[in-house]
Amino acid sequence: MGALVRPEAPDTLPECREAIDRVDAALATLLERRAALAGIVQRIKPVGGFAGRDLARERALVARMALRAPSLGEARLAPIMNAVIEAGLHLAEERSAE
């Protein structure tokens, strides 16, 4: 993980794309892990799925993330995290129906 958060300054287009590909691969792995953990939460919560969303917690999550990604800020991170959360909820619903 350290190599992914270390600043890079690629000089060429191929080097830039390789760096982006590395970050994308890490994001995919982290998103898969997050979805699995969210699925566990859905099984534990008394009210799961979309009805059980905690919007205050989601806003706090986005605010914490904005501290780590200030150039993106809350306004840009909110729709990203909403999509991540909804993807995890859809996956949890699909798995519970199996």
The CATH code of the domain that includes 37 is: 1.20.59
The residue type of 31 is L
Question: Measured in Å, how far apart are the chain's first and last C-alpha atoms?
Answer: 34
**Within a domain: residue 91?**
yes
Give the model's pLDDT for residue 49.
86
Alpha-carbon separation of residue 34 from 16, 17, 24, 26, 46 (angstroms):
27, 25, 15, 12, 20
**Within a domain: residue 65?**
yes
Domain count, the chain: 1
**Within a domain: residue 86?**
yes
**Within a domain: residue 2?**
no
Domain residues for the domain of 20 are 10-97
Q: How far apart are CA 41 and CA 47, in angstroms?
A: 10
Is the pLDDT higher at 59 or at 46?
A: 59
pTM above 0.75, yes or no: yes
With a cut of 70, say whether residue 66 has pLDDT above it.
yes
**Within a domain: residue 16?**
yes
